[in-house]
Every structure is written in structure tokens, then in C-alpha cells.
């Protein structure tokens, strides 16, 4: 029964006055400082350190941390809203916030007090940027196939192997890295480590050119006898896979928020364009086929927002089992982003396809949200697996 009440409670704007003020600040910064940089960030393919500086100045990295660790302690829902607001104008800049959370969650969820004290305040201030390194060239969806190993030697672990497609490679000061301490034990052989960017034997060996989110770095990490203090093991040996999945349960909605921001930004842009572009003697917004597209785009965004904010509320209420709600939010927001941005390009016609207008960037940026932090095929598997754990027989009791 408890679960049903959660489904029913989605107030329109569940934020407190303080949270609304922070949302306003983020909106203003996004509009005045980040939006004018978005096209340049996309074209230059350069990591936007000025945006990081802006977040530092205004304490925005603190949104992802508790007060006792130097954060704002304002909760998950507001953190998602901040990512959404920034991503309306620049998906790369939204991702910087989302990955600060992704890369720090291992410490927050599984770190001991000493590890938390050592890292979290510097992550909350943004002095350090974070990254999460699970994927390898041969293991993306199938993490158990990872080949990076870690063996204990005295009071250090020695890591050997490589990671691929790691966001924030080269710009991060600290990486949450997964490696096998028992290579024959499948998932149960994986352990999680905190690795400093200057650890001996650690190197970023390449950065990938990509379709979208061009200002974000995506890189290959090499561990060649990389020495990490034993005190940097998160949890116990063998707990790495569970930690990785707990992190993803909490981080995937951040990608949902990025996706929703992109979708809403594209909808807003297409609406304004359709108001002023005339064909056959009237604004295209008054042609019913275009009006229907706008209506469907807006409705999809609202539906996606419902799932995303519901997740945020569940997390803030302390709900322990977030797996299904998290996967649903990520899946629906990202599919919405891909579909909505494609429609936005269509509404702009030929102008939609050229770089002078932002919707082509938004369409390219949207695609990655269906792929990273677990592809949408994997999200569907996760959701169906959770459904199979639920019993609904009581609902059918009277059905003949
Ligand atoms: C820009 C970018 C940034 C990234 N950032 C990070 C990061 O910061 N940290 C990190 O660890 N990783 C990161 N990744 C990696 C990303 O999470 C993986 O690429 C993704 O999980 C898919 O893994 P894969 O590429 O190996 O595809 P594969 O696992 O090889 O999948 C290929 C296709 O098969 C499908 N598939 C696989 N298994 C199944 C199945 N059982 N049933 C049905 N379909 C299946 C997939 O959905 C996909 O369509 C990033 C990737 C990119 C491109």
C-alpha cells in the first residue's frame, strides 16, 4: 500500500521558499551566463572551466552534498531541477553538475568517515571535480566482464588495466574506479577505489571526439601498476558491483534531468520559432500539424517531469528502494529528449538543420542520454526485473 500512495502524490511545485530561491538563481545564471556560451562550447570542443568557476562562485556544487560535508543539504529534487535548468540552455554544462554527483556518490554511499572528511568538502566546493570509471573497452552493459585488476601489496593496492568513455577524464581530480580483486568471481570479485588524478601509474591516454556534449571530456584511463593507498578502498573487497549499482540508482535521474532540460529547451525554442515563422499567410504554429507537434512535445516534457520529480521526492523522503523509479525517470526523460529534439528540428525546417540555430545541437546532445549510465535497453531490463519482484495478484482477485 505504501508504494501506491507514493504514486499518487505529485504536487505541482513541491519546493520550499528557500528551494525556489535557489532555482531562480540557477535559472538566472543559466540564462545570463551559460546560454550565451552554449554554441561556443559546442564548437570549440573545449571543457568550459569558466562554467565550473561560475558554479564554484555560487556554491552550486554544494547542491549534491549534505551540510555536514560542506554542501547545501537542500536535497535530491532541487539538485535535479538545477541540472534541468542548466541543460535547457547547455547540456554540457548540465552534465558537469550531474557528473560531480555521479563521481562523488561512491564516497557518500560507501565511504568511511575518514574518506568522507578527506574528499567530500573539496568536492562540495568544486575545488575537486569527480569522475566515475566503470566502463571498459570490452565491458559496458556487462560490467562483470571487466578486466582491470587490483591486488593488495602491503598497504597499497596495485591497479592494472584500462577504462574507456570516462566523463571528466583529465579534468577530474578524483576518480571512483572499479576493478577486480578476485578476477574469477564475476560480479562478486569487483571492488571500488578512490583514485587521485596524480596517483603514480595512472594516466589519461586519449580523449574521444563525439557527436554531442562536445565540451565534456570523454577519455580512456590507463592503470599501469597504479598504486593506491589501501585506505582508498570503498567498503569491503567484493562490494564494488553493489556499490556501482547503488550509485547508478541515485545518479541516473541526473541524466534524466539533463535529458528533460534538453527536451524543454528545444520545445521552448520551437514554440517561439513557430510563432514568428510564416508560411501560406500565417504563423506555422497555426497550421494544425505543427500545433499538434508542439502540444505533443509539451505533454511529453510534462509527463517526463512527473516521473523525474516523483523520483526526487522519493529520494528526499528516504525511500530505500529507488531502482525502478530511477530507471523509469532516466528511460522516459531520455527517450522524450531524443524524440522532442527531432521534432524541434522538423519544426524549424531547413533552419533546424544548420548550426546557426540551437536545435541541431540539442538533437545531437539528446542522443547520449539514451546511452550512458546504462543504455535504455538496460533500463527496460531493470524495470521489468523490478516488476517481476512485485505481486499484483490481489488486484486480480475478483477478475474472472
Ligand atoms: C559520451 C560518453 C560518456 C560516458 N561516460 C561514462 C562515465 O563517466 N563512466 C563510465 O563508466 N562509463 C561512461 N560511458 C560508457 C557508457 O555508460 C556505455 O557506453 C554504455 O553503458 C553502453 O556500454 P557499451 O558502449 O559497451 O555498449 P554494449 O554494452 O556493448 O551495448 C551495445 C548495444 O547492445 C545493447 N545491449 C547490451 N546488452 C544487452 C542486453 N542484455 N539486452 C538487450 N540489449 C543489450 C545495448 O543497449 C546497446 O544498444 C560513457 C559513454 C559515452 C559515449
82 assigned to some structural domain: yes
Same domain? 253 vs 384? yes
Contact between 283 and 292 under an 8 Å Cβ cutoff? The reply is no
Same domain? 135 vs 125? no
pLDDT at 399 (0 to 100) = 79
Same domain? 312 vs 348? yes
Per cent of the chain over pLDDT 90 is 94
Q: Would you say the C-alpha torsion 228, 206, 368, 97 has a positive or negative sign?
A: positive
Residue 10 predicted with pLDDT over 80: no
What is the Cα–Cα distance from 285 to 281, expressed in whole angstroms?
12
Q: Which CATH number does the domain housing residue 140 bear?
A: 2.40.110.10
Task: Say whether pTM exceeds 0.85.
Answer: yes
Lowest mean pLDDT segment, chosen from 5-14, 63-72, 138-147, 284-293? 5-14
In this prediction, residue 400 has a pLDDT band, given cuts at 50, 70 and 90, of confident
Ligand 1: which residue has its CA nearest to atom 43? 377
Lowest mean pLDDT segment, chosen from 7-16, 19-28, 204-213? 7-16
Same domain? 281 vs 316? yes
Ligand 1: which residue has its CA nearest to atom 27? 140
In this prediction, residue 189 has a pLDDT band, given cuts at 50, 70 and 90, of very high
Same domain? 180 vs 162? yes
What is the Cα–Cα distance from 226 to 88, expressed in whole angstroms?
39
pLDDT at 4 (0 to 100) = 42
Domain boundary among 213, 238, 263: 238
Residue 9 predicted with pLDDT over 70: no
Same domain? 98 vs 229? no
Residue 39 predicted with pLDDT over 50: yes
Contact between 299 and 255 under an 8 Å Cβ cutoff? The reply is no
In this prediction, residue 12 has a pLDDT band, given cuts at 50, 70 and 90, of low
Ligand 1: which residue has its CA nearest to atom 30? 140
Measure 317 CA to ligand 1 centroid, in angstroms.
31
Domain boundary among 188, 223, 238: 238
Q: Cα angle at 364 between 360 and 100, to 5 degrees? A: 125
Of 215, 375, 382, 384, best ligand 1 pocket probe by most atoms within 8 Å of the beta carbon: 375
Mean pLDDT across 72-92: 98
Could you say which of 84, 373, 386, 390 is catalytic? 373
Contact between 10 and 313 under an 8 Å Cβ cutoff? The reply is yes
Between helix 113-125 and helix 91-110 the angle, nearest 10°, is: 160
Report the number of distinct structural domains present in the chain: 3
Pocket of ligand 1 (CB under 6 A): 131-135, 140-141, 165-167, 210, 218, 368, 371-375, 377-378, 381
What is the Cα–Cα distance from 288 to 294, expressed in whole angstroms?
10
361 assigned to some structural domain: yes
400 assigned to some structural domain: no
Domain boundary among 111, 129, 147: 129
Between helix 376-389 and helix 323-347 the angle, nearest 10°, is: 140
194 assigned to some structural domain: yes
What is the Cα–Cα distance from 247 to 243, expressed in whole angstroms?
6
373 among known catalytic residues: yes
Q: Measuring CA to CA, how many Å separate 13 from each of 16, 17, 104, 120?
A: 9, 11, 28, 30
What is the Cα–Cα distance from 119 to 154, expressed in whole angstroms?
23
277 assigned to some structural domain: yes
In this prediction, residue 374 has a pLDDT band, given cuts at 50, 70 and 90, of very high
* Residue linked to cell 587490483: 150
Same domain? 253 vs 362? yes
396 assigned to some structural domain: no
Q: What is 114-175 written as a DSSP string?
A: HHHHHHHHHHHHTSS-EEEE--BTTBSS-GGG---EEEEETTEEEEEEEEEEEETTTT-SEE
Contacting residues for 173 by C-beta, under 8 A, at least 6 apart: 122, 127, 128, 129, 130, 196, 197
Same domain? 372 vs 250? yes
Q: Which CATH number does the domain housing residue 280 bear?
A: 1.20.140.10
399 assigned to some structural domain: no
Residue 128 predicted with pLDDT over 80: yes
Contact between 367 and 336 under an 8 Å Cβ cutoff? The reply is no
Q: Exposed, middle or buried by CB within 10 Å (0-12, 13-18, 19+), for 280?
A: exposed
Question: Tens digits of per-residue pLDDT, 154-171?
Answer: 999 999 999 999 999 999
Same domain? 149 vs 92? no
Contacting residues for 336 by C-beta, under 8 A, at least 6 apart: 259, 260, 263, 300, 301, 303, 304
315 assigned to some structural domain: yes
Same domain? 329 vs 361? yes
Q: Which CATH number does the domain housing residue 99 bear?
A: 1.10.540.10
**Structural domain range at position 58:** 2-129
Q: Exposed, middle or buried by CB within 10 Å (0-12, 13-18, 19+), for 284?
A: buried
Residue 204 has phi, psi (to 5 degrees) of -90, 115
Same domain? 257 vs 351? yes
Same domain? 317 vs 386? yes
Amino acid at each position: 500500500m505504501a508504494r501506491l500512495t507514493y504514486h499518487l502524490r505529485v504536487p505541482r511545485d513541491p519546493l520550499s521558499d528557500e528551494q525556489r530561491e535557489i532555482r531562480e538563481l540557477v535559472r538566472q545564471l543559466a540564462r545570463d551566463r551559460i546560454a550565451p556560451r552554449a554554441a561556443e562550447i559546442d564548437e570549440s570542443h573545449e571543457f568550459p572551466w569558466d562554467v565550473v568557476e561560475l558554479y564554484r562562485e555560487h556554491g552550486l556544487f554544494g547542491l549534491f552534498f549534505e551540510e555536514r560535508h560542506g554542501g547545501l543539504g537542500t536535497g535530491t529534487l532541487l539538485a535535479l531541477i538545477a541540472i534541468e535548468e542548466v541543460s535547457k540552455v547547455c547540456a554540457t554544462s548540465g552534465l558537469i553538475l550531474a557528473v560531480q554527483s555521479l563521481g562523488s556518490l561512491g564516497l557518500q554511499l560507501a565511504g568511511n568517515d575518514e574518506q568522507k572528511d578527506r574528499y567530500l568538502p573539496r568536492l562540495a566546493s568544486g575545488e575537486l571535480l569527480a569522475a566515475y570509471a566503470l566502463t571498459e573497452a570490452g565491458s559496458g552493459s556487462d560490467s562483470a566482464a571487466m578486466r582491470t585488476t587490483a591486488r593488495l601489496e602491503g598497504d597499497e593496492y596495485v591497479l592494472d588495466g584500462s577504462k574507456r568513455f570516462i566523463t571528466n577524464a583529465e579534468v577530474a581530480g578524483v576518480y571512483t574506479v572499479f576493478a577486480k580483486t578476485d578476477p574469477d568471481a564475476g560480479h562478486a570479485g569487483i571492488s571500488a577505489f578512490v583514485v587521485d588524478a596524480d596517483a603514480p601509474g595512472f594516466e589519461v591516454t586519449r580523449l574521444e571526439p563525439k557527436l554531442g556534449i562536445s565540451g565534456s571530456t570523454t577519455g580512456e584511463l590507463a592503470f599501469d601498476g597504479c598504486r593506491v593507498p589501501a585506505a582508498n578502498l570503498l567498503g569491503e573487497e567484493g562490494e564494488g558491483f553493489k556499490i556501482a549499482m547503488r550509485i547508478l540508482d541515485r545518479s541516473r535521474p541526473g541524466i534524466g534531468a539533463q535529458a528533460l532540460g534538453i527536451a524543454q529547451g528545444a520545445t521552448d525554442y520551437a514554440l517561439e520559432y513557430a510563432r514568428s515563422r510564416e508560411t501560406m499567410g500565417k504563423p506555422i504554429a497555426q497550421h494544425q500539424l505543427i500545433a499538434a507537434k508542439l502540444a505533443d512535445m509539451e505533454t511529453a516534457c510534462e509527463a517526463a517531469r512527473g516521473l523525474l520529480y516523483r523520483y526526487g521526492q522519493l529520494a528526499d523522503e528516504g525511500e530505500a528502494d529507488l531502482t525502478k523509479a530511477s530507471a523509469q525517470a532516466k528511460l522516459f526523460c531520455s527517450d522524450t529528449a531524443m524524440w522532442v529534439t527531432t521534432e524541434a528540428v522538423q519544426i524549424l525546417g531547413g533552419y533546424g538543420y544548420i548550426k546557426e540555430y540551437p536545435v541541431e545541437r540539442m538533437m545531437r546532445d539528446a542522443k547520449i542520454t539514451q546511452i550512458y549510465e546504462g543504455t535504455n535497453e538496460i533500463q527496460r531490463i531493470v524495470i521489468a526485473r523490478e516488476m517481476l519482484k512485485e505481486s499484483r495478484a490481489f488486484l486480480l482477485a475478483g477478475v474472472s
